[in-house]
């Protein structure tokens, strides 16, 4: 039998892709490291060469999605034909698009990481996301200051505060989703809209731009996303 040698990134992504598929089909708790390595056809030593644990794999899956977001956001920040406010709103559109494309991973993330025992892993992932995305948003805010559209003497700190507030929003909405019951869709959507409006208002105040300038989530898309997420008991979530 010929042994197939793969490059580092190729093998790592193969393991991640397989783990993600098994997490979705079997459930996170029901998927073991043994299941993953058997599916890929590698040794346990190979697995631990790439990952410290199954939890580390989930961390890496979220980081991979964040890196995808960063790649797309950088395309926006590097454009010379867009003003800062357009770039800011386009960046949020990009984040929304990538998250919708990875809705099953978002479901997995929320169900697993919002367990009390995973609070440290959740914080680690959150801090990693901040370090990746804040610099790009700081560039947009700095451009807005130079264009005299935004008004803040601290572009980088403003970007960081915006993401810290985003985490508060994420925590609140995740808990609403996890606590929702069948028939709660309209109530959850209303609460989401209120939280998002408060967040948009906060961003506008932080960067000193007029009210109504920032639109992080299209309300129709929000409703579509929630329907995909399935506020009622979701079979995929019940597997985890």
| Per-domain residue ranges of the chain | 1-51, 54-239
Closest to 87 measured CA to CA, from 15, 172, 147? 147
Please give the Cα distance from 135 to 160 (Å, whole number). 9
pTM for this model (two decimals)? 0.83
pLDDT given at position 163 = 93
pLDDT given at position 103 = 83
> Do 34 and 46 contact (CB within 8 A), yes or no?
no
pLDDT given at position 223 = 66
CATH 3.30.930.10 fits 1-51, yes or no: no
Question: Is the pLDDT higher at 194 or at 236?
Answer: 194
**Model pLDDT for residues 36-94, shown as the tens digit of each residue:** 999 999 999 999 999 999 999 999 999 999 999 999 999 999 999 999 999 999 999 99
Please give the Cα distance from 61 to 108 (Å, whole number). 10
Answer whether 1-51 and 54-239 agree in fold: no
pLDDT given at position 225 = 62
Residue 9 has pLDDT above 80, yes or no: yes
Cβ neighbours of 72 (radius 10 Å): 16
Please give the Cα distance from 22 to 41 (Å, whole number). 14
CATH numeric code, 54-239:
1.10.357
Please give the Cα distance from 136 to 171 (Å, whole number). 23
């Amino acid at each position: 039998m010929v042994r197939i040698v793969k490059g580092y990134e190729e093998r790592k992504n193969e393991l991640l892709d397989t783990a993600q598929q098994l997490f979705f089909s079997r459930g996170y708790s029901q998927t073991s490291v043994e299941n993953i390595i058997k599916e890929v056809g590698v040794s346990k030593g190979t697995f631990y060469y790439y990952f410290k644990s199954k939890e580390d794999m989930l961390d890496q899956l979220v980081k991979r999605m964040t890196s995808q977001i960063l790649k797309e956001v950088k395309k926006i920040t590097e454009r010379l034909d867009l003003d800062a406010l357009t770039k800011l709103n386009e960046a949020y559109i990009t984040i929304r698009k990538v998250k919708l494309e990875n809705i099953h991973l978002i479901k997995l993330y929320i169900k697993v990481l919002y367990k009390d025992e995973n609070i440290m892993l959740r914080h680690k992932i959150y801090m990693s996301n901040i370090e990746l995305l804040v610099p790009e948003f700081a560039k947009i805010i700095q451009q807005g200051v130079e264009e005299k559209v935004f008004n803040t003497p601290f572009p980088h700190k403003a970007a960081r505060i915006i993401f810290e507030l985003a985490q508060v929003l994420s925590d609140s909405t995740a808990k609403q989703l996890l606590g929702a019951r069948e028939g709660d869709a309209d109530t959850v959507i209303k609460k989401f809209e209120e939280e998002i409006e408060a967040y948009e208002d906060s961003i506008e105040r932080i960067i000193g731009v007029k009210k109504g300038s920032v639109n992080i989530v299209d309300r129709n898309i929000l409703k579509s996303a929630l329907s995909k997420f399935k506020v009622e008991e979701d079979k995929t979530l019940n597997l985890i």
